[in-house]
Amino acid sequence: MTDTLLDHRAEGPASAPPLLLGPSLGTSYALWDKVAPELSAAHRVVRWDLPGHGGSAPGLIGPGATVGDLADLVLALADSLGVERFAYAGVSLGGAVGLHLAVHRPERLSSLAVICSSAHFNGAGPWRERAARVRDEGLAGLAEGADARWFTPGFTVPRLVRDHREADPEAYAACCDALAAFDLRERLAEISVPTLLVAGREDPATPPGHLREIADAVPDAALVEIPGASHLAPAERPEAVLAALRTHFGGAARRGMEVRREVLGDAHVDRAQARQTPFTARFQDFISRYAWGEIWTDPALTRRERSMITLTALVAHGHYDELALHVRAARRNGLTPEEIGAVLLQTAVYCGVPAANSAFATAQRVLAEEDE
């Protein structure tokens, strides 16, 4: 904990595109426990705590705080980490922070996901009443009703309920002040970053209509509704939230998967996907994002030229199973059997005759299958 920066947890490669994750009122960054590790395969994920929640100091905000104040704290955190531009996803109050950034500091955002949140939170009155109650009574009583506000019947996450109970009452009340004053409905049309809205279909706090209102106003925004999810969808339905965020933030991985299918064929990629396990998931994402999403999409070389280089490299290292795959890919990329033969003959000079001999046998088998 520091007195000047939000407490946070960073995961994933430092060189990966940054993604900041914001929490809901009353929770800590544990809200993202079932989502952040998976997202960190392709992103530098930084999840942060609200003031007075988790490890963040209560004194970072005070009475009369605004969502803009919280957004400034998020930018200060990003600056401290050397992050200039980032993708952002936030739940409820964390989502409001994202909307504020998209309106007031769009140059800092590359894309935005707003989850179980709103452009307004049903007027100032209820939030002012809650702030007064918390300042008078503390959080124990309010935490007793957390499950009903956050989850569908029968579901709970004890860690999050405990975080609610242990939050600092003054900081929590200041966050209520921020929600009371928040209303961006008149400025939603100004948002220009790619925006995804995620609604929990069973959410009583910010029903799907609140997310539809944003989706209708923000140009080209997308909306996903998650069945069986209440207000804390990343905790209750992490798989569905993860799928939506991966699609929205995928970028190079999404384009890479398209190129991978174009070059290697749907049958091969489908088999690879079917064999994927939690143990291999990060490697598969790495291949799609880096090899196929960045290298194979570079226009400096044509796909024909990349196939020639790849065939040569595979022969040089004796990767003949992979060579068979890329002989097929070379045909998809426009190389004739004669051109493939010429490439393999060249390898005889620079990689050795035995290597080229094995390569010709592999290629002949593949090309014969093609003729059947």
Would you list the DSSP string of 250-273?
Answer: -THHHHHHHHHHHHH-HHHHHHHH
**What is the average pLDDT score of the chain?**
94
Q: Residue 20 forms beta bridges with which residues?
A: 46, 88
Can you give the pLDDT at residue 326?
97
Q: Is residue 291 part of a domain?
A: no
User: Does residue 157 sit in the same domain as residue 73?
Assistant: yes
Domain closes at, from 249, 265, 284: 249
Query: Which residues are CB-contacts of 166 (< 8 A; sequence separation ≥ 6)?
Result: 139
Nearest to 201 by CA among 164, 161, 241: 241
**CB-CB contact of 31 with 60 (8 Å):** no
In terms of domains, do 215 and 304 share one? Answer: no
Same domain membership, residue 303 and residue 245: no
pLDDT of 48 reads 98
Q: CA–CA separation, 178 vs 164, rounded Å? A: 17
**pTM more than 0.85:** no
What's the rounded Cα separation, in Å, for the pair 178 and 308?
A: 59
User: To 5 degrees, how large is the angle CA 232–CA 156–CA 280?
Assistant: 70
Residue 311 belongs to what domain range? 299-371
* DSSP assigned state of 301: S
CATH number at residue 199: 3.40.50.1820
Same domain, 157 and 82: yes
Strand order across the beta sheet in which 8-11 lies: 8-11, 44-48, 18-22, 86-91, 109-115, 195-200, 222-226
Residues paired with residue 87 on neighbouring β-strands, in sequence order: 19, 111
Q: Pick the closest to residue 105 from 27, 192, 42 (CA basis).
A: 192
Of 75, 125, 69, 57, give the one whose Cα is nearest residue 93: 69
Whether the per-residue pLDDT at 210 is higher than 80: the answer is yes
pLDDT given at position 163: 97
> Which one has a higher pLDDT value, 293 or 180?
180
Both tokens of 245, joined, read 């965020």
Q: Are residues 325 and 214 in the same domain?
A: no
d(CA 238, CA 51): 25
Q: How far apart are the first and last CA of the chain?
A: 67
In a shared domain, residues 80 and 144: yes
pLDDT of residue 360: 97
Residue 265 maps to a domain:
no
Per DSSP, 190 falls in state: G
Tokens coding 176 = 């209520």
Asked if the structure places residue 165 within a domain, the reply is yes
User: Within a domain: residue 235?
Assistant: yes
CA atoms of 336 and 239, how far apart (whole Å) = 44
Cα→Cα distances 331→49, 185, 198, Å? 52, 54, 42
What is the predicted pLDDT for the residue at 57? 97
Q: What mean pLDDT do residues 320-328 have? A: 96
pLDDT digits (tens, 9 = 90+) for 101-110: 999 999 999 9
Query: Residue 253: pLDDT band by 50, 70, 90 thresholds?
Result: low
Report, as an integer, the average pLDDT of 240-262.
84
CATH number at 304 reads: 1.20.1290.10
Q: What is the rounded distance in angstroms from the CA atom of residue 228 to the CA atom of residue 222?
A: 20
Total of domains in the chain = 2
Q: Tell me: do 191 and 53 sit in the same domain.
A: yes
pLDDT band of 295, cuts 50, 70, 90: confident
Domain assignment of residue 262, yes or no: no
Is residue 225 assigned to a domain?
Answer: yes
d(CA 151, CA 153): 6
259 lies in some domain: no
DSSP codes of every residue in 314-359: HHHHT-HHHHHHHHHHHHHTT--HHHHHHHHHHHHHHT-HHHHHHH
Token pair, residue 143, equals 């935490």
Residues 316 and 210 in one domain: no
Average pLDDT, stretch 315-325?
Answer: 96
183 DSSP β-pair partners: 120
Residues 139-164 as b/e (b if ≥16 CB within 10 A, e otherwise) read beebbeebbebbbbeeeebeebbebb
pLDDT band, residue 252 (cuts 50/70/90): low
